[in-house]
């Protein structure tokens, strides 16, 4: 295996989050157990095996490696991947892939999905993904992966197995679908993006950006660039119900020690204990 790009890893209850994210450099993430990745600012070799990528927007630090990833899967004789991109940029992405096809003289085969905001797409029998609009300087989407399970309806839960079977045989639907948001990835966004979708705050795992944290980088200005400031996270501290919050995409103007110190000093304990700084 060629070790060509950094990958950080964190495990929580059967899910592994892998990736790396620095503003204007590169962001790439994946969750192998879900066979899904987010953004392809670069593509580590092992990410080639992940067959679905959900791309938040067209900035180079989030999409530059898409043609390399598509071509590598073909080279490795893997199935064509499925790539979700915001519908507003889908045509440009298709043209870009066709240009690379000419440059590289290798076919760029993938299933490109033009994802609309507030839409739902099936990933597998157990998982669906929904989209929400984020607020950035270019068209952008956030993604939430939901686990879906069929569960016995509450009104039948006290009954025995044979009683339930009899009701089922009489043609009554005894179970219903239960959904839980398990992973939310926001990509680059001003805090309005987080507020656009209540499930962002409910998802078991939340991966979002925290690009700026210094008081002199005023948050109003940061919002115009479509990014989140530490003060935005602190203002919303009580809203986060997530078990794990990963904050990535730190600006390269900062050293990670400064960032850690600022979080240590300012973030309330109740939130801090669930936060993982991805630097
Ligand atoms: Zn970015
Ligand atoms: Zn961006």
Question: What's the gap in Å between 63 CA and the centre of ligand 2?
Answer: 10
What are the domain boundaries of the chain? 8-277
Q: 8-277: which CATH architecture?
A: 4-Layer Sandwich (3.60)
pLDDT at 175: 92
Question: What's the gap in Å between 98 CA and the centre of ligand 1?
Answer: 24
**Ligand that lies nearest to the alpha carbon of residue 22, given by its number in the listed order:** 1
pTM for the whole structure: 0.94
| Per-residue pLDDT tens digits for 78-112 | 999 999 999 999 999 999 999 999 999 989 999 99
Q: Around ion ligand 2, which residues have CB less than 5 A away?
A: 59, 188
Is there a contact between 194 and 186 (Cβ–Cβ < 8 Å)?
yes
Question: What's the gap in Å between 135 CA and the centre of ligand 2?
Answer: 10
pLDDT at 2: 64
Is there a contact between 24 and 33 (Cβ–Cβ < 8 Å)?
no
| Per-residue pLDDT tens digits for 159-183 | 999 999 999 999 999 999 999 999 9
Question: What's the gap in Å between 57 CA and the centre of ligand 2?
Answer: 7
> Bigger pLDDT: 254 or 186?
186
**Nearest-10 crossing angle of helices 66-75, 87-104:** 60
| Per-residue pLDDT tens digits for 64-75 | 999 999 999 999
CA distance 41 to 20: 9
Question: What's the gap in Å between 227 CA and the centre of ligand 1?
Answer: 9
């Amino acid at each position: 295996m060629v070790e060509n790009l950094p990958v950080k890893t964190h495990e929580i209850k059967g899910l592994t989050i892998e990736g790396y994210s620095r503003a204007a450099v590169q962001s790439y993430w994946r969750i192998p157990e879900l066979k899904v990745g987010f953004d392809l600012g670069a593509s580590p070799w092992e990410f080639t095996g992940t067959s679905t990528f959900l791309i938040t927007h067209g900035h180079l630090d989030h999409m530059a490696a898409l043609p390399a990833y598509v071509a590598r899967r073909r080279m490795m004789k893997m199935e064509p991947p499925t790539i979700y991109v915001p519908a507003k940029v889908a045509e440009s992405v298709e043209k870009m892939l066709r240009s690379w096809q000419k440059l590289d003289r290798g076919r760029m085969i993938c299933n490109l999905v033009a994802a609309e905001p507030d839409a739902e797409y099936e990933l597998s029998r157990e998982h669906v993904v929904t989209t929400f609009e984020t607020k950035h300087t270019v068209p952008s989407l956030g993604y939430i992966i939901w686990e879906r399970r069929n569960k016995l309806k509450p009104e039948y839960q006290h009954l025995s197995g044979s009683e339930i079977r009899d009701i089922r045989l009489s043609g009554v639907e005894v179970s219903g679908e239960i959904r839980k948001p398990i992973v939310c990835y926001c990509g680059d966004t001003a805090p309005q993006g987080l507020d656009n979708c209540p499930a962002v705050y409910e998802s078991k795992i939340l991966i979002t950006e925290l690009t700026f944290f210094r008081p002199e980088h005023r948050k109003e200005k940061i919002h115009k660039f479509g990014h989140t400031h530490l003060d935005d996270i602190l203002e919303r501290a009580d809203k986060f119900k997530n078990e794990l919050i990963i904050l990535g995409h730190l600006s390269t103007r900062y050293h990670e020690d400064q960032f850690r110190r600022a979080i240590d000093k300012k973030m309330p304990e109740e939130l801090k204990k669930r936060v993982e700084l991805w630097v």
